[in-house]
Structure 1
């Protein structure tokens, strides 16, 4: 590992090139550049997730940590690792202090691996508008996680209003085991039409909301939600027009599939670690149309797949939002400024 303190972007590029030459064959065959925008507390989680994902998708990992963006003093600290504990991955961790953090692309762009796709991942509270962040504008694919937002309901709506083909959400990725199980179960129901869909779980959990949107887009039935005893998704029940029911119930890492007239079946339903979720999203770089359909159904915002995939950067300075309103001048009211009348004495 190479550590550079109070450095420049040019020195980081030189140090990465030197480390790559020392590592030799470890750096060949990069599949993509992964830019991770994180808070300091998420750096180690990001490294662990990237290590798992890099086993399937060797990548150049650029971790951007923005600090004190309102500070006028700028500084860049960087760590560079090639191979080692991160496996087939080149990593550059950059901690940007002060106003430099608002121009992270000026340091990150020269570090992109040549001739490979760029994926930007926000591991933390997702941005309200991806176009505010130039690191998202340069990406071919953009990964957020609405489950980490302070207000997941509002975050889902932001993602729909701001959506462009190429966007995705790890709250959607976590549904893969549920979608696989439900699709396989419903396919065996001889294509009978659904009459009612009930989801037991937390209706404010973005994964539950997206699952409801996906079922609505596929079955044409708006789901209803019921309390799931604290679970994000406890069960899904589909009532068909013939009168039978089909349900999938989560039970401690497994799914119990129940169908009218058939014995219950038990199947695995495990939540993947963060690195596996990330690796799943890196397998495809084309627009995720089922996600767009689910997001559209759950938010009511239409035409997501018809939008342009190309984004244009919108300058957004947090300092303008944080700057207090100027105080009113400390002057007395007009009546108090009048000169006292002469007494005539």
Structure 2
């Protein structure tokens, strides 16, 4: 549904993901067992709770922990400490001279990208300010776009906490960052857009992700009833309604030719009640987004392999998928994967910890695991 729905229906990422409640924690992370996967993995750290972002630079692996508000290395060094903020994305420049990370406060009134380099003053890009002034997806239409009826409008408007059909609203939540030349691309899960940030902190719109339109079937309506605990048959009037969900960009990576690849959560329920609707888009330098793969259940991150393989974490499907052309297979089976990075034959995967979000208590940790890919 939309930004409003993601808050009420627990279907976004980052700080909004915390509203999901405790995510199942893999037993191996704290009982000494190996994860269930088809590759042998090495646990690099369990000193993380919500490792939303990874960056690999040489032998260093940087981890953005949204729960702790930190960027650390897997060797235990704290690089950034911003308590009280969701620090979700991190990347290092190609020449390893600067590091950039995203931050967002609880009500999204403060959100931006900080570029830091040794011996220089930090550069702060005000993404929340840019979003408030420009609202790049303001021209997009979300909600009911076909087959409307009064019953459906009442139900779907109630679930989103507003109108059943609405334009893009102002909401900044920078969630991932990728270095490109002397600039940075930022995937903003609230703005539904990819921003370009210059080395001086100037923000501009690189691309707006398209609405994610589905036509609700009888089975989908029944699945929504179950998800929201509604009486059987009470959502039957939704069948036949076409609904445009907000895209929720969760990661951005850039290939050697300069094309950007973006994972999106498709808004609304992220379980399988409406099917596996996560997708990967390719964005050319013109800013046009083209879907290259879909059918993911909780696409929270991606990585680009040197051989052209696209790796996608499926948070709710317990795997990292490998996309090669039109074929999608399983690269790694692992519980609650959040982020993934590829470097040579190494694949780095982070997993979500088990957290009681009503108290903020970390019941068991997340992890970062290194896998060696087969040739």
Q: Which has the higher helix share?
A: 1
Q: Which has the higher contact order (CA 8 A, sep 6+)?
A: 2
TM range (shorter): under 0.3
TM-score (norm 2): 0.23
Q: Which has the higher strand share?
A: 2
TM-score (norm 1): 0.24
